[in-house]
Chains A and B, each alone.
Chain A
């Protein structure tokens, strides 16, 4: 299985900050990388698909970049509703696998 490694595992930030989360795959996955946001007690919600495509309805302050093994999710200006846990997921080969998550917390 492809291992997905996210860093950091947690991140403290303030409203208005620009934050970047990194996801690394154990082998090249081209652009087959998706990002999800999960709030406590809720299901994950798709933010970004195909490494850099913004899901409909997701604010433009979210952006994704990368290809191959290294990917980033950036939030350009944190809003109060963005404090959540973020997961990357590879869709290159079965089984699809997820990173362990990055918890974004108030500083």
Chain B
């Protein structure tokens, strides 16, 4: 059973770069996209972007200018960097696997499983 474990700095100052890593256990990075999603305090879930084993990426247009994702196949890990953070970037950040399946109506995808989440606080 695939499990994701994530880590990274939890307290940042404005203008610094957020850096998080997610390790995949019990499975391979190959054949899937891997995603980052965040949840600001008291708010909903926001998709940040995704990356596949070849380094192919898709980013949310709202964050694209500040986001970089990378993958390390040798370590079964993928990472998120978000530059120039502000208080608005304070959130719990989750990594997750994107499961894609061809169904009768087309190719569908969903997020499963998820990492445990990392609270990142941006404060001066």
Interface membership of B47, Cβ < 8 A: yes
CA distance A87 to B110 in the complex (A): 13
Interface membership of B108, Cβ < 8 A: yes
Q: Is the interface of B mostly helix, strand, loop or mixed?
A: strand
B106 close to A44 (CB less than 8 A)? no
State which size class the interface on B falls in: 20 to 34
B45 close to A98 (CB less than 8 A)? yes
Residue in chain A with minimal CB distance to B63? A95
Q: What per-residue 1/0 map shows which CB atoms of A43-69 lie under 8 Å from chain B?
A: 111100110000100000000000000
**Residues of chain A with a CB closer than 8 A to B45's CB:** 44, 87, 89, 98
Interface membership of A32, Cβ < 8 A: yes
B11 to chain A, nearest CB (A): 19
Interface membership of B26, Cβ < 8 A: no
A31 close to B117 (CB less than 8 A)? no
In the complex, 8 of the A-B residue pairs with CB atoms within 8 angstroms, ordered by the A residue number, are A46-B110, A46-B111, A50-B105, A50-B108, A55-B112, A94-B58, A95-B61, A100-B44
Residues of A within 8 A of B (CB): 30-32, 34, 36, 42-46, 49-50, 55, 87, 89, 91, 94-101
